[in-house]
Amino acid sequence: MEKEKLMEKRYGLPTALSMVVGIAIGSGIFFKAVKLLNLTHGSMKDALLVIGAVGVICVVFMRDIFIGLHIYINVGSNLVII
């Protein structure tokens, strides 16, 4: 009998989520600040609200993706429809 190759767990959910959020914030915040301030006509309050709303949307979608991956991996790599 051949042993099945199993995916090895490298990162937990909190670590992976933190990495994704950190990379997304780190790569976008410096390049988009001027463009965002131009679009909000220089209003820092409106710019921060937009950044916060986009951040919340990203976290919600990434949470759903990680939950789906967790279920997919732990059910034995069979397709699971949630």
Q: Is the pTM of this model over 0.85?
A: no
Q: What is the pLDDT of residues 47-75, one digit of tens each?
A: 889 889 988 998 888 888 887 777 666 66
Determine the residue type at 13.
L
> Dihedral through CA 47, CA 48, CA 52, CA 54, nearest 10?
20
Per-residue pLDDT tens digits for 2-58: 556 666 667 777 888 888 888 877 776 667 778 888 888 988 899 889 889 988 998
Cβ contacts of residue 71 below 8 Å, gap of 6+?
80, 82
